[in-house]
C-alpha cells in the first residue's frame, strides 16, 4: 500500500477534529482498525478511518472541507478552487488529503470526482486556453491529479467489503487520437473498487488493438472516453468495433465525455454522463439522466 494511503495518529486526529488521545483510545478499543510499525507506532489505513466515520455516523468537524451537495454553492466552489490550487502547485499529497477529507464526510468517490476533480480540471483547461496558464503549468496540474487518483484507490473501496468476488475483466481506454485520459483513470479507479479486474490502456488506443484486447480478456465491461468532439464517422466505427467485440462475450460498452455526445449507440452500448452514472450502472441501479 502506498505510504501516502496510511495515516498517523496525529493525521487522523486532525481529520476528525479530535485529540490524539481520543484516536488512540478508539484504536485500542478496536473501534478504528490500525496496525503497529516495528517501532510500536499506530498507523491507520484510509479505508478503515472511512469505515469508522460511516459506521458511527461520526460528525467530522474543523479541518475538513464543507459538505458537497447536488446544488452548486459557494462552499462547493471553494472545494473546487482548493483542489485546483493544490494541483497547480504540483501538490499531489494535498490533493489526496482533500479527497480523503471529502470521503470522510461520507461523500462517495464518484461524487467527489464529479463535483470537485472534474470541475477543477475544466477550470485548469479553460485557463490554459485563455493563456493564463502555460503548457508547463497545465501539465503540472494534470500530473498531480493523475498521481492523486492513483493514490486514492483505497478511498473508492466500500467499507467492510475487502473480499468482494471478482466480477470479470473491464477494459478502460480513451479513443484513438485522444490524448487526455484522466477521466479514464477515474473510471478505472471506480471499477477496481467494484470488483473488476481492470486493464487500462488509457490514452490514444488504436481501435483494432482495443477490440483485440476486449476479445482476449472477454471483458464484462468496456469503458471508452472522448473529451473533445471528433470525426463522427471515425468515432462511431471505433465504438462499434468495441461493442461487437464485447458482445461476443456478453459484455457491454459504456461511453463518456463530451466527445461522445452525438455518437449513435450500437446495441449493448450506453452513454453515461457522470461518475455517479457509472457507479449506478455497475451497481445494477438505473443511471440518472441529467
Instruction: Give Cα separations from 23 to 37, 159, 240, 260 (angstroms).
Output: 17, 19, 53, 47
The contacts found for 161-168 with CB under 8 angstroms, 24 or more apart, are 164/194, 164/195, 165/195, 166/195, 166/196, 166/197, 167/194, 167/195, 167/196, 167/220, 167/282, 168/196, 168/197, 168/218, 168/219, 168/220, 168/221, 168/251
Determine the number of helices (DSSP H) and then strands (DSSP E) in the chain.
Answer: 13, 8
Closest CA to 120 of 101, 106, 99: 99
Q: Tell me, what's the pLDDT at 285?
A: 41
- Alpha-carbon span 88 to 143, nearest angstrom: 9
- Grid look-up 508547463 returns 136
pTM as predicted: 0.81
In order along its 290 residues, the chain shows pLDDT tens digits of 445 468 889 878 877 778 899 999 999 999 999 999 999 999 998 878 877 876 765 555 545 555 565 455 566 788 899 999 999 999 887 888 788 888 877 788 999 999 999 999 999 999 999 999 999 999 999 999 999 998 888 778 765 555 455 789 999 999 888 888 999 999 999 999 888 999 999 888 889 999 999 999 999 999 999 988 788 888 999 999 999 999 998 999 999 998 998 999 998 899 999 999 999 998 754 444 44
CA atoms within 13 A of residue 129's CA, in its CB half-sphere = 6
SS (H, E, C) 5-33: HEEEHHHHHHHHCCCHHHHHHHHHCCCCC
Element containing residue 213 per DSSP (H, E): helix 207-217
Which domains, ranges and CATH numbers included, belong to the chain?
A: 1-159 (1.10.1240.10), 169-282 (3.40.50.280)
Closest CA to 108 of 157, 151, 166, 141: 157
Task: Write out the DSSP string of 76-121.
Answer: HHHHHHHHHHHHHTT-HHHHHHHHHHHHHTT--HHHHIIIIIHHHH
Q: Are the CB atoms for 48 and 103 separated by under 8 Å? A: no
Element containing residue 173 per DSSP (H, E): strand 169-174
- Grid look-up 466505427 returns 237
Amino acid at each position: 500500500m502506498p505510504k501516502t494511503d496510511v495515516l498517523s495518529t496525529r493525521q487522523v486526529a486532525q481529520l476528525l477534529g479530535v485529540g490524539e488521545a481520543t484516536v488512540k483510545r478508539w484504536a485500542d478499543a478496536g473501534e478504528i482498525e490500525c496496525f503497529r510499525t516495528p517501532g510500536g507506532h499506530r498507523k491507520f489505513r484510509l479505508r478503515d478511518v472511512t469505515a469508522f466515520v460511516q459506521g458511527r455516523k461520526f460528525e467530522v468537524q474543523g479541518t475538513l472541507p464543507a459538505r458537497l451537495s447536488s446544488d452548486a454553492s459557494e462552499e462547493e466552489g471553494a472545494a473546487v478552487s482548493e483542489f485546483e490550487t493544490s494541483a497547480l502547485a504540483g501538490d499531489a499529497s494535498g490533493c489526496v488529503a482533500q479527497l480523503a477529507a471529502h470521503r470522510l464526510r461520507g461523500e462517495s468517490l464518484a461524487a467527489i470526482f464529479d463535483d470537485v476533480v472534474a470541475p477543477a480540471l475544466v477550470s485548469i483547461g479553460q485557463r490554459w486556453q485563455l493563456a493564463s496558464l502555460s503548457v508547463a503549468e497545465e501539465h503540472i496540474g494534470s500530473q498531480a491529479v493523475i498521481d492523486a487518483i492513483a493514490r486514492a484507490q483505497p478511498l473508492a473501496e466500500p467499507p467492510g467489503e475487502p473480499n468482494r468476488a471478482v466480477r470479470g475483466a473491464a477494459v478502460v481506454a480513451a479513443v484513438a487520437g485522444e490524448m487526455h485520459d484522466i477521466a479514464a483513470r477515474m473510471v478505472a479507479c471506480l471499477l477496481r473498487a467494484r470488483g473488476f479486474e481492470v486493464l487500462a490502456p488509457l490514452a490514444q488506443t488504436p481501435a483494432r488493438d482495443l477490440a483485440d484486447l476486449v476479445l482476449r480478456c472477454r471483458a464484462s465491461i468496456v469503458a471508452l472516453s472522448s473529451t473533445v468532439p471528433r470525426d463522427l464517422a471515425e468515432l462511431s466505427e471505433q465504438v462499434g468495433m468495441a461493442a461487437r467485440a464485447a458482445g461476443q462475450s456478453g459484455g457491454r460498452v459504456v461511453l463518456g465525455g463530451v466527445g461522445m455526445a452525438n455518437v449513435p449507440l450500437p446495441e449493448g452500448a450506453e452513454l453515461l454522463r457522470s461518475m455517479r452514472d457509472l457507479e449506478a450502472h455497475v451497481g445494477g441501479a438505473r443511471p440518472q439522466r441529467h
